[in-house]
Structures are given as C-alpha cells and as structure tokens.
Amino acid sequence: MNMFDLTGKKAIVTGGASGLGRGLVEGLHEAGAEVAIIDITDQIDAIANEIGRSGAKVFGIKGNLGDREQLKQAFQASVAKLGGTLDILVNCAGIQRRNPCLDFTAKDWDDVIELNLTATFLLSQLAGRIMAEKNKGKIINIASLLSFFGGYTVPAYAASKGAVAQLTKAFSNEWASLGVNVNAIAPGYMDTPLNTAIMADQERNSKILARIPAGRWGTPADMKGLIIFLASEASNYVNGAIIPIDGGYLGC
C-alpha cells in the first residue's frame, strides 16, 4: 500500500490559482486527488482546466472569501462538484498589506484579518462538520514564519498568521479524537507575488538570503511534498503541528 496515494480523495484548496496555492493544488493533483480551487480570479476555469488536463478532475470555483456569504456559497459549490463529500481542506487564500504600524489603516487591518484568519476559521468549521461525521479528514492551514516573529510593516499579516497557528492547535485539540487531523504549514521566504516588495528591496533581500542556509528563496514546488504528506494516510498521527518550509531559516 502506498500511504501517500491520494487517489479518490476530494480536496478543496483556497487561493489555489497562483503562487504557493497553485503549487499545493498541483501536488495534491499529482498524488491523485480531485481538487476544487476557490479563487477570486476571472481565470479560475482556465487554470483548473490546465492543471486537470490529465489525471483526476480539477474544478474552478470563483468566489471572494472576504465576503462571508460568498464564502459559504463557494464552499457548498465546491463540495457539490466533488460529489457531495470532502476529505481535504487547504486554507491558502490570503492577502498582504504593507505600511508602518503608525500609518496602518483600520480598513487594511480588517481586510487582512477577514481573509487570512476569519475565512480560515469559517471554512474549517464547514469542512469539520463533514469530516467529523465520517470520522476522517485532513485540514491544512497555511501559516507563515510570521507566526513565530513579527516582521516589519505588516502588523495585520503577522497578527493573522500568528492567530492561524493558534487556531490550528485549537481545532486540533477538539477534533483529533474525531479522526480529523488539523495541521499547518509555515512557508518561509517564498518567491511569489506576495513578496515582490521585499525581493525588490536589495538590502532586505540580501539580509534574508544571508540567513537562509539553503541559500535561496523557496518556490511553490517546494510545497508539494509536505502537502501530500499532511493530506495522506502517512500523517494520521500528526495533529496540531506548525511545520516550517523555510530552507532552514528558523534554525539559523
């Protein structure tokens, strides 16, 4: 038996149309899972068709997860596309807003917290109800290195990702006995559009690279192995963990 095989499993990935989210979708799909991608982009159907050209089906569901009614509708539509059930939820959708703490606006704070944290809570709750009935399921949240430290000019993002780590543990405490594994991945400095501003800052970029033992920024492809592990039978006794993918940054 291949304990990493996801053939026949049904997965939802939020924010899966680009960046790290797309890497997560591709990893699950390559391991055999059917995937519904929830994303706000108008290109969601084309992206889903491209990823799903061979192997299991991939569905595109357009929705703004910062709107709670759209969130419910997108989740329900995804479960319907997957045949009325769900085995895996990956909460990856997120946004970033940058400004010094003294100038950070309440609007930016609310937008970031709503999508990065509240949507993760609501979607996990919806998925958890389905999974608890089956006594089986995998929820994987996307935390961050900023779950461990504060960063600069990103107070809302740091707060949201610190909270995602704690939320992961809170759900795990209640749901591990129900057969639902709740864990989180904490990506390090990744070469994605979310980090364009940092990568363009030569001084900051150099300091970051100097502290990464692997000597490079991460890529969406670096996410594939861990997402397959956490979504598969191989991780059945892994609960409430926040696992870094950071090229060794936290250990340096």
In the residue annotation, 189 being an active-site residue is answered as: no
The 3-state DSSP class for residue 224 equals helix
Candidates 157, 189, 237, 249; catalytic one = 157
How many CB atoms within 10 Å of residue 161?
A: 27
Tell me, letter by letter, the H, E, C secondary structure of 109-155. HHHHHHHHHHHHHHHHHHHHHHHHHHCCEEEEEECCHHHCCCCCCCH
CA atoms within 13 A on the CB side of 124: 30
What is the four-CA torsion angle of 160, 162, 163, 164, rounded to 10 degrees?
90
Catalytic residues: 157
